[in-house]
Structure 1
Amino acid sequence: MADSKREVERKYEATPETRLPDLTRAAGVSAVVHRGLSELDAVYYDTEDLRLAAASLTLRRRTGGDDAGWHLKIPVSSGVRDEIRAPLTDTLPPDLDALLRSRVRNTRLAPVVRILSARDVHHLLDEDGALLAEVSVDEVLAERLTGKGRGATSAWTELEVELADDGDPALLDAVERRLRKAGVRPSDAPSKLSRALAETAPEKRARKVGKAKPAAAPHTAGAHVLAYVRRQAEALVELDPAVRRDLPDSVHRMRVATRRLRSAFRTYRALLDRTVTDPLREELKWLAAELGADRDQEVLDARLRSHLAAVPTPLLLGPVKARRKLTSVSRRTGSRRRATSVLDTERYLALLDSLDALLVDPPLRPAAARPPRDALPRAVLKDYARLAARVGHALEQPPGEDRDLAMHEARKAAKRVRYAAEAARPALGKPAKRFAKRMKSVQSVLGDHQDSVVTRDALRTLAVQAHGAGESAFTWGLLYGREEAAAGARERELPEVWARASRPGLRAALKG
């Protein structure tokens, strides 16, 4: 089974003559202990078109040192990566293979670079002898193993400072100040692999290992929509390993990306050919539904926990907390398994391929060539008109099941308008931002109402189960009544929230 470690480090340029300054003068460092030399031999794997490197992912099989094995590094933020480790085997461990599937899909991984490092390690300790950080000076030799540059080599020396587990990032600043005073400067290369690929490339673009030049801003309505679609498609791919690792909020964020894509294809169908986007919308709907079971259970669990925590102890009759937990674990296990298993299906991988194909060869209609300030507001306001009709219909319904259903439909329409405005924001600026914010306020009221509807269904089931087991159902009935009152409050709140959100001035501003 793979293990995960958060890696926080900084890299610096060095030479074979580089000597560490006195780092005990860095705040918090009481001692520097030399840990000796080690020889590391790492082979880095990627696809032929270097998909992992393009996403700043690194996969290596390393021997030597005290952490020999397979290592997958996933970027979190600048200087921060999650390192997933697996035992040293001849072939890629299944756990790491799964985490790469959204990037690699059915493409073969092969060795692309071999890096040999002679590492000189020092530990920075506090006054109690606890490890604060590890400083290493690496003499590196890299060899290209594939492509036109096969056999090309590059050598350099670098210095790394890696924070100890749960260490204070301020220590890195203190150490960097001492290094800079000694003439040591930060490296432009985010990783050894990125530098090796750049310096052994056939075109010899040595030293060009920094950030890529930003793309030019889109100038047509179609280009703006495609930029938005690209961001959401990339989010699906990036969130895949997070969902597999069960990271907080990952399922929710991945599901939101599917919804935003579906909304974009529907809202901007005057710009994109529906014969291409409609099948994609159906596949995205399928994926959202498969992911939804886990997310819905997560939301329900949080809501029930919050409710039970607010109930005075004398009103907690029977083993209510134990029953909630038992039910939650049972349902979450099944929904969790469903959410992760769908990511291994050929249908899911085919959806990712189809999104890539759309972006490579966009199915643009003639209207896509129009200026953004002409085409985008029209599409957003068309969705807004649909929302207005659904809110009006919901407000006309008497309390009960029909109103619940009508408010749920209005909620979905509010999300679509909000996403449409967010997609238009880069082109339309603050008016679109304000419009999206107003639509979010409507969505929030309707969403709270729907959450109450779902929670009441769950509370009724829990009450029936408790009664059947001979337990008191009082507490579940109490919570049911509170949820019913909360839903009524949202229904009474909706007309005012809608009136504020639908002010004519905002629509006029969106039109420009």
Structure 2
Amino acid sequence: MSSTSIGDRIVAVKHVEIERKYDAAADFVVPELTALPGVAAVDTPEIHHLHATYFDTEDLRLAAHGITLRRRRGGSDAGWHLKIPAGPDSKNELRAPLGRAQVVPARLASLVAAYTRGGSLRPVATLETDRTVIRLLDGSGAVLAEVADDAVTGRVLLGEGGDAWREIEVELAAGARDLLKAAGKRLRKAGAREAASSSKLGRLLDGDIARPTTREIVQRARAATGGTPTAGEAVTAYLAAQLEAVLAFDPKARLAEYDAVHRMRVATRRIRSVLQSYRPVLDRTRTDPLRAELKWLAAALGEVRDLEVLRMRFTDRVAALDDIGEPAWLEELARQERAAYRRLNATLKEPRYYALLDALEALVADPPLKGRAGRDAATELPRLVERAWARLAATYASIGHAEDADLARHDTRKDAKRARYAAEVAVPVLGEPAKAVVGNAKRLQEVLGGYQDGVIAAAHLKEAAARARDTREAFTLGVLSGIERCEAEAALERLEGTWAEIPPPSFQAP
């Protein structure tokens, strides 16, 4: 468990929950668990009565994405709990004190704003749980996992309805995943079954959740065509995955988690790039306005990301120097980054951002496909990837005679990203040949990025040197600037050889 903060303000307690759930009959008997991997003893069972009120929008937008927000009394962790899926068998859980019964803590509410988009959060269900907790201990007495035997009674508040059931939950503490697997095997052998839902609320509301996720939309579309992807389906599936990434990294970006802004920005750029590269498949009268809004969002994310990159880069540089402490200019850079995070959080609360998310979901749910979208993806995608690569090749060739070579290199880097993302769309259909294009484009992109990052860093250091307060600080900035220029030139020297080694796309005829 850890504290998450922005600046010096603690906003929540974060806990990564790794667990598996099992349905069990009323007369189910929990089997002996001491012979599981690493388990030396089973602690004395504890009994708790838990009361939880779950909050969601009226159309259950959080539940549709597997997110739960609850206020729970009883047990050892009473308070507000926000659980967001983080992968197989795991969820990120953020907690806050009990506070007021009907008022969701503002910070937790902000972390689901990408889903609620201005919709109010209200109580949608209650769960009463009689829980027996069994802790599995190692030889030193450390808790490896907790097994919770729950008798649950649920009530739907949005209308009439409810249910009662028994559920066994195994949550890892200090144990390894093989313990989770072994415990599940033991429970199934005793008569338990894999849970039909990953959450109690999901089970209770299953019939009421009408809002499909983007992934479900694509899966339904593919099933309707018998599993043979068209160009339009391949593009739609990719766009849906990137939209899911934007939504997944939104709360992480608001919490200033490591690399979250970067990954949210990349997903945004991927969508924008593919909307351009696949214009023969998508009607631009609908996609061009979205590209403009995606550019706006990427710029807001970019302000934070650029400062973040510089701060991390210079922190590592300074750490390699002897006994210079924390320079004032580096502290100022960190302050600028915190201010940029505050501006980003304000941006992510704007109706303009929510409207963009609505428009992207509508795009995926009802894509504006045109003529070539109905063609076989294996036939159509190679042409579009090759077209993106041809544009890259032409831009690279322009570097040698451009009036502004750095601008031409920057444009080449952008076209390398565009070719890479175009090929990523094709990977599920074309396999290794498309993966090769992705790798080659990324390789060129990284060389150009190494040059550009060095140039930008050197320029920043030059500006800082102009404001230096003493000769020692100016000397340090000069040393760092020299390092950046040397690395930029080294990257530039690799550019021609890298391009010469990269073959153009090669796809076998289907």
TM-score range, shorter chain: 0.7 to 0.9
Query: Match of 2:368, SS?
Result: coil
Aligned pair partner of 2:432 in 430, 433, 448: 430
Q: Per-residue displacement from partner, 1:449-475 (whole Å, max 9, x unpaired)?
A: 111111101221232233x33434223
Q: Per-residue displacement from partner, 1:240-283 (whole Å, max 9, x unpaired)?
A: 11111222211011101111111111111122222211111111
- Separation of aligned partners in 1, 2:161 and 2:242: 37
Distance 1:234 1:22, change over 3 A: closer
Describe how 1:202-221 pairs up with structure 2 within 5 A.
Answer: 215-216=222-223, 217=227, 219-221=229-231
Q: Which amino acid aligns with 1:290?
A: A
- Separation of aligned partners in 2, 1:202 and 1:327: 48
Which residue of structure 2 aligns with residue 407 of structure 1? 409
Quote how far apart the aligned CAs of 1:345 are.
Answer: 0.8
Distance 1:227 1:463, change over 3 A: same
Matched, 1:50 2:28: no
Is the Cα contact below 8 Å between 2:86 and 2:92 reproduced in 1?
yes
Quote how far apart the aligned CAs of 1:227 are.
Answer: 1.7
Matched, 1:159 2:157: no
Aligned pair partner of 2:245 in 223, 235, 241: 235
- Separation of aligned partners in 2, 1:239 and 1:341: 16
Task: Give the % identical residues.
Answer: 45
For the aligned residues, what is the CA RMSD?
2.6
Query: Match of 1:42, SS?
Result: strand
Is the Cα contact below 8 Å between 1:120 and 1:137 reproduced in 2?
yes
Which residue of structure 2 aligns with residue 209 of structure 1? none
Q: Which amino acid aligns with 1:360?
A: A
Q: Which amino acid aligns with 1:304?
A: F
TM-score (norm 1): 0.88
Query: Match of 1:507, SS?
Result: coil
Q: Which amino acid aligns with 1:53?
A: A
Aligned pair partner of 1:392 in 387, 390, 397: 397
Q: Which amino acid aligns with 1:155?
A: A
Which residue of structure 2 aligns with residue 110 of structure 1? 122
- Separation of aligned partners in 1, 2:283 and 2:187: 57
Aligned pair partner of 1:187 in 160, 180, 195: 195
Which residue of structure 2 aligns with residue 33 of structure 1? 43
- Separation of aligned partners in 1, 2:220 and 2:95: 32
Quote how far apart the aligned CAs of 1:136 are.
Answer: 1.9
Distance 1:223 1:22, change over 3 A: closer
Which residue of structure 1 aligns with residue 490 of structure 2? 489
Query: Match of 1:49, SS?
Result: coil
Quote how far apart the aligned CAs of 1:213 are.
Answer: 8.2
- Separation of aligned partners in 2, 1:442 and 1:274: 29
- Separation of aligned partners in 1, 2:427 and 2:75: 50
Which residue of structure 1 aligns with residue 282 of structure 2? 272
Which residue of structure 2 aligns with residue 335 of structure 1? 340
For structure 1, list consecutive stretches of 5 or more residues without a partner in the other structure: 204-211
Describe how 1:348-359 pairs up with structure 2 within 5 A.
Answer: 348-359=353-364
Q: Which amino acid aligns with 2:162?
A: T
- Separation of aligned partners in 1, 2:190 and 2:429: 47
Q: Which amino acid aligns with 2:414?
A: K
- Separation of aligned partners in 2, 1:50 and 1:426: 32
Describe how 1:432-471 pairs up with structure 2 within 5 A.
Answer: 432-466=434-468, 468-471=469-472
Quote how far apart the aligned CAs of 1:478 are.
Answer: 2.3
For structure 2, list consecutive stretches of 5 or more residues without a partner in the other structure: 1-10, 211-218
- Separation of aligned partners in 2, 1:177 and 1:429: 35
Distance 1:202 1:387, change over 3 A: closer
- Separation of aligned partners in 1, 2:51 and 2:461: 58
Quote how far apart the aligned CAs of 1:494 are.
Answer: 1.1
Distance 1:17 1:327, change over 3 A: same
Describe how 1:6-405 pairs up with structure 2 within 5 A.
Answer: 6-88=16-98, 89=100, 90-146=102-158, 150-164=159-173, 166-176=174-184, 178-180=186-188, 182-198=190-206, 215-216=222-223, 217=227, 219-311=229-321, 313=322, 319=324, 321-323=326-328, 325-396=330-401, 402-405=404-407
Larger radius of gyration: 1
Is the Cα contact below 8 Å between 1:435 and 1:510 reproduced in 2?
no
Distance 1:432 1:137, change over 3 A: same
Matched, 1:478 2:479: yes
What is the aligned residue count? 487
Q: Which amino acid aligns with 2:460?
A: A
Is the Cα contact below 8 Å between 2:389 and 2:505 reproduced in 1?
no
Q: Per-residue displacement from partner, 1:210-253 (whole Å, max 9, x unpaired)?
A: xx989434532222212211221222122111111222211011
Is the Cα contact below 8 Å between 2:104 and 2:121 reproduced in 1?
no
Query: Match of 1:142, SS?
Result: strand
Q: Which amino acid aligns with 2:195?
A: S
- Separation of aligned partners in 1, 2:182 and 2:275: 50
Is the Cα contact below 8 Å between 1:25 and 1:178 reproduced in 2?
no
